[in-house]
Structure 1
Amino acid sequence: MAADPVHTAPRPAVTTAHRSPSSLDYYLVLPRPDDPDPTRAVAGLVVEEFTREHDHISTGLHSAGWTPAAGWWSTAALSRSIRTDPDTSARVVPTSRAEAEGHYRTLGGGQLPDDTELRSYLLVHQPIATAAPLRLGPAQPPAGWHERRVYRVLFAKDLHPDQVTSLRASWRTPVDATGASAASGHLEKGGDRFGWELRRVAHTRAWALDVTVLLGAAADDTVGSTLSDLTTVLRQQGLIPVTTERFS
């Protein structure tokens, strides 16, 4: 990986930006093509956590990498290169904490630290620019609903056709669905209604999940968990989340 350290990074002051209690994302770092050990399946780990506003849009990203030789280290360049450098992103694979624990142990790290300790390594904050929500679509919600919101979750990397087919099946996308979306779905949760569409953006170099929310009341407790669940589904297919924006 382009951001592999020579020495452990310095420990600057931890940002005071809000973090959700259980929102760490785990990634496996695959060996370089010229790795001297051809039997090694994984070279290290990356742990990340987004910081968010009260309405769930992204405001920044913390990341830390770990390799057996360097230990834990944190730089903003790491999170950027995962999303912008093709050679780096090709070697980074989203994974679960359970799988990360197994590889961490195999690589000689022992027991993977719990969330609290891992957050102590997420020291460098990469800010994500935010702005007031754009007003796309009607300003007023449909009759009977308290508020209408539209979110977009951007992702790096690509999906294979069979992965899109799998998403269409799991989300029950209508067979005769037309339009620009590759897959879509909907659900009702806690009196709120969600509908989403997955589409290619940025001249087909990225993916976007557009989520329309109709809130039945002033509380938006279901929004954060639903956005997180949908993001997790796409991470399981290999996509890497870049940011969550709000359009209304």
Structure 2
Amino acid sequence: MTTPHAGTAIRVAFDPQPSLDYYLIHGSAGEPEVILVEEFVLGEDHSAVRLDSAGWTSTDRRWRGSAAVSRGIRVDANLRSRVVATSRPDVEIIFRQLGGGELPDEETLRGYVHDGEPLSTSAPLRLGSGRAAAGFREKRVYRILFANDLGADGLAILQAGWRMTRPENVADPQGRVVGTAHLHVGDDSFAWDLRRIGIGAAWCVDLTANLVSRGDAIGPLLRELTTTMRRQGLIPVTIERFS
């Protein structure tokens, strides 16, 4: 299992090319056997339209498209229990230890993706009135869906790092929203709920954006929220736009 990481303060970094997501898949003996590299491809409205992936195994030592593996870790709890979300520096070390040499740069890794997994691209589901708050021109709502359970330590780290307001029923296993956080970027206002879906089945982050600007901060913020959840052992499934 992934050990929870501290240091969850939100930062909105306008990177021209976001970094890839890295995972290690361990074998029955507990040693890493597969390196999985993923990237969500986002549409113009920042919803996910495709999940690209490439994998490298210690047995054949070659990179290839890994759509089936990416799909498997999101639907198979047994496989997911052997998956650890990690960072590029850690993968560089493991890659050398497994005899792969120097880890290719991210531009090269993207070239190994040949079988990206298409995601639903339906029109946004309109919830409620969809009206922006007073003083804003537009409101958008996004959901980042995650597979895996979130342990008590990871939950506490997220609540503290995001300075979340907690509902009164946070200890209730049937409670859904376990915290709400807020952020201002320029004239835009953002709020997100950390929400339990079922009991131990899945989690999501619901982001509401009230915009004055054209919304350039949405993509980087969605990325940062996703990365922070990955650090606590959650595996992103998709990013949907609800309004």
Query: Scaled by the length of structure 1, what TM-score is found?
Result: 0.84
Residue identity in the other structure for 2:27: P
- Aligned partners of 1:154 and 1:175: how far apart in 2? 20
Q: Is 2:113 the partner of 1:122?
A: yes
- Aligned partners of 1:142 and 1:104: how far apart in 2? 49
- Aligned partners of 1:220 and 1:173: how far apart in 2? 23
Find 2:149's aligned residue among 131, 154, 158: 158
Report the Cα offset of residue 190 of structure 1: 2.5
Task: Give the SS at the match of 2:59.
Answer: coil
Find 1:61's aligned residue among 47, 51, 64: 51
Native 8 Å contact 2:130 2:140 kept in 1: no
Residue identity in the other structure for 1:50: F
Report the Cα offset of residue 104 of structure 1: 0.8
- Aligned partners of 1:62 and 1:176: how far apart in 2? 37
Find 1:240's aligned residue among 218, 235, 238: 235
Find 2:69's aligned residue among 78, 85, 96: 78
Task: Give a deviation string over 1:39-80, Cα, whole Å, max 9, x none.
Answer: x63222100111110111011111111112222121321111
Residue identity in the other structure for 2:237: V
Task: Give the SS at the match of 2:238.
Answer: strand
Task: Give a deviation string over 1:78-108, Cα, whole Å, max 9, x none.
Answer: 1110100111111111111111111111111
- 1:26 is aligned to 22
- Aligned partners of 1:119 and 1:174: how far apart in 2? 39
- Aligned partners of 1:204 and 1:138: how far apart in 2? 31
Task: Give a deviation string over 1:10-46, Cα, whole Å, max 9, x none.
Answer: xxxxxxxxxx7224110011122xx4xxxx6322210
Residue identity in the other structure for 1:168: Q
- 1:46 is aligned to 36
Native 8 Å contact 1:44 1:104 kept in 2: no
Native 8 Å contact 1:190 1:222 kept in 2: no
Alignment of structure 1 residues 214-233 onto 2, 5 Å: 214-217=210-213, 219-233=214-228
- 1:200 is aligned to 196
- 1:186 is aligned to 182
Task: Give the SS at the match of 2:32.
Answer: coil
- 2:79 is aligned to 88
Task: Give a deviation string over 1:102-133, Cα, whole Å, max 9, x none.
Answer: 11111111110001110111111110012111
- Aligned partners of 2:32 and 2:87: how far apart in 1? 14
Residue identity in the other structure for 1:245: E
- Aligned partners of 1:44 and 1:176: how far apart in 2? 40
Query: Scaled by the length of structure 2, what TM-score is found?
Result: 0.86
**Unaligned stretches of 5+ in structure 1?**
1-19
- Aligned partners of 1:47 and 1:78: how far apart in 2? 11
- Aligned partners of 1:44 and 1:126: how far apart in 2? 19
